[in-house]
Amino acid sequence: MKKKKIVVCDAIHQRGFELLCAEKDIEVIDAVSLPKDELLKVIGDCDVVITRSSTDVDEKFLNAAKNLKAVVRAGVGVDNVDQEGCSRRGIIAMNVPTANTIAAVELTLAHLLGTARSFTNANNHLKNERIWNREKWYGVELCDKKLGVIGFGNIGSRVAIRAKSFGMEIVAYDPYVPSSKVTDLGMTYAENFDDILACDFITIHTPKNKETSNMISYDEIAKMKDGVRLVNCARGGLYNEKALYDSIKSGKIAFAGIDVFSYEPATDHPLLDLENICVTPHLGANTLESQEKIAISAAEQAISAARGVSYPNALNLPIKAEELPQYLEPYLELVQKMGFLAAQINKSSIKSIRIEAEGEISKHAKTLLTFAVVGSLKESLGEKINYVNAEFVAKEKKIETKFDMVNTASAYKNRVTINITTEKNVTSVSGTVFGEDEQRIVGINGFRFDFKPKGKMIIFKNSDVPGVIASITTILAKSQINISDFRLGRGNHGYAMAVILVDTDIDKKIITELNALETCVWAEYAVL
């Protein structure tokens, strides 16, 4: 029997190589030291590749790997993997999302202590300049200080638990987790983001997306205490780096601990010129233990994928055309987009995800539900949610998932509706496909629409009175926002809803301004 070929493109812990080489049906190619142009000659007939951040799995790479079945990214981030390109070729992209959790938690704590005591500066002052000056390095104590934790997932929650042992008071902000997850630990659950901004220390642990990019900028820093201390060991760009620089330089921010930057390597970044900052070169996963765990997980995933047994942590599990009818494919994509849209409209901890399928597609309601769950949780979990682990993750988070097959009761031959219930309310989105693949959103919360699920959009519910459209367009025009389409749905109880498609990103200030309108019930920004 021909052996399956796995190529290791970037350095992994030796334990990973040992696991790979122990399998008699696997041929292992160590390409770690090969120049990248030589690597392209080696991957032509391989089944699986294991990469890290040094190898770009781009179009050139994928074109060279003609027999490739799967890519295993040994780590969390998959910025260097062209997932869309993989999907087009039927290649499964996987990552290793949890092996470095403890390493990232402990590095965050190191930075937290560093911002309090400036020990890196004190060390450099004594060691490099040979100056003994105790008075220069007065710090503050963590005990009895408030720590604001943005994002209460695997890493943020563990940071909070450990920080609490220092005697800190924990205030956590994460609209995508139940409040009980925080309060059961004797911590404060913040519904208002300003409660985080009032803390003495702030650390952030979120994925990077449109909602979290530049989440902390000039306006947020202005609301903070003078002398606040900030930590970011999650993703570069969650803090606006220009605002961070200006605020550290002015003294508004007393000290910052930064492990990640918007563009890396950040060897000439302006932040490096400041004294009251401790920086590390993206070391979140850099412990011997985490590297071993990552290598073991990556090797095990690669072996399973090479054999076609399973695809753990698959980020883009492709549709098997031989098992599903062709007409279903656009509905699977559509229902995932619908879930993502509903989650952006209803930003809160999800309690249940339910879909109703009517028409011929109802026979595949269970499959549709999996894609709906992935879309619904993508807003809060980012790359951590996929088609393989969707059911497990939903169960772990105690999210009820359910599908109903409905006899055709509408004007549509096929229609799917997703209902997301959160701690706040229920959001419903309906969609259908015209022709072979013309996807359409046809309803939101009972309001009828017809628009493509694509682009940047403002969803605006309002009292159905004169002058609403004028007030919306005035606000957008003032900010030079061009409207590409405006869809209006009217209800029977004195309310209306608008879906406003725009050409450029919408700032949080604009959404705040729209929500402040007297006629506005609520306004949210979504991107599909």
Catalytic residue positions? 235, 264, 282
Between the alpha carbon of residue 81 and those of residues 62, 72, 233, 380, the distances in Å are 10, 10, 22, 21
**Bridge partners for 440 per DSSP:** 432
Distance CA(336)–CA(418), nearest Å, equals: 10
Q: Which helix (H) or strand (E) holds 513?
A: helix 508-515
Using only the alpha carbons of the chain, give its radius of gyration: 25
Lateral strand order in the sheet of 350-358: 400-406, 350-358, 415-422, 426-434, 438-444, 447-451
**Bridge partners for 151 per DSSP:** none
Closest CA to 256 of 210, 211, 224, 286: 224
Distance CA(265)–CA(279), nearest Å, equals: 12
Distance CA(290)–CA(52), nearest Å, equals: 14
Q: Are 438 and 444 in contact (CB under 8 A)?
A: no
Question: What is the bridge-based pairing of β-strands 350-358 and 277-279?
Answer: unpaired
Beta carbons within 8 Å of 290's beta carbon, 6+ residues apart: 99, 100, 102, 103
Beta carbons within 8 Å of 217's beta carbon, 6+ residues apart: 239, 240, 243
Q: What's the token pair of residue 221?
A: 């820093």
Long-range CB pairs of 441-449, under 8 A, 24+ apart, other chains included: 441/338, 441/341, 441/499, 442/412, 442/415, 443/417, 443/489, 444/345, 444/489, 444/497, 444/499, 445/497, 446/491, 447/489, 447/490, 447/491, 447/496, 447/497, 448/489, 449/487, 449/489, 449/497, 449/499
